[in-house]
Amino acid sequence: MHHPEGRPQIVAHRGANLRRAEHTLGAYVQALDEGADALECDVRLSADGHLVCVHDRRVDRTTNSRGVVSTMTLAELNRLDAAYSKNPWAELDDEAEEVDSDHNRVLTLRRLCEVVRDYDRVVDLAIETKHPTRYGGLVERRLVQLLDEFGWAGGDSPARVMSFSGVALTRVQRLAPQLDIVLLIEGAVSWQVTRAMLRPGWIAGPGIDELRGRPRLGPRLLAAGHRIHVWTVNTRDDLDRALEVGAEAVITDDPATLHAMARG
């Protein structure tokens, strides 16, 4: 990953999702315009094997339809309005801002990789694989194959892979040993369990609530030699807490505000 001088890397959580619909191209373009250093996304496999940027198992919450992502083809997903949850009355709003329809479709990871590759400054990509899933390890295999197509499966990759699943991350490490790996940490598990899950060289990814509820967690992670990335950091207090534990990256819903705070 690239390291901004004097501050943590600002990572846009599902894009600039406070202002744009999460995981849409519009949300990621907005995040880049707001100065995000990196983009975060969740990925699932469609029924025909495409990696798509969708958080939930179902499309019900974020689109104008219903269904399970893994049972829908990319063509079916392409027909959905992925920005529906942000503005369900857009078609009836004569004063609504005109938006390119591509910015409101279900986004493929390939398209997001192209945006990162072609942008006019260095941008990192933090990719979370969602589990459990009907496709099991195929998600990680397809992900590494795609990253390899872009030349991003080695040690100089702008991409890193995150998951709450240690098994999934072990698959990634086996397929692409040089990629940065982030184990996301959530839930009231003991330090012994946390330490056992984190393999040597893995980055620790605690949620901000974990750092609040377990004040000894951050120092213990540092003492064990782990780099730290924190999610989801949206306030001054959150940022200060992340800085206290030496976080090198903070994932946020509001990259513009966090960028200003971190620089200040």
**Considering only CA atoms, which of 96, 103, 80 is closest in space to residue 25?**
103
Sign of CA dihedral 152, 154, 157, 159: positive
Phi, psi angle pair for 79, to nearest 5°: -85, -5
Phi, then psi, of 262 in degrees rounded to 5: -65, -35
**By three-state DSSP, how is residue 110 classified?**
helix
13 is catalytic: yes
Out of 3, 23, 50, 55, pick the active-site residue.
55
Is 55 an active-site residue? yes
Q: Which of 13, 23, 229, 259 is catalytic?
A: 13
Residue with tokens 């315009």: 33
The rounded distance, in Å, linking the Cα atoms of 181 and 262 is 24
Which amino acid is it at 212?
Answer: R
One-character DSSP codes across 199-245: -TTPEEEEBHHHHHH-TTHHHHHHHTT--BEEB---SHHHHHHHHHT
Active site amino acids: 13, 55
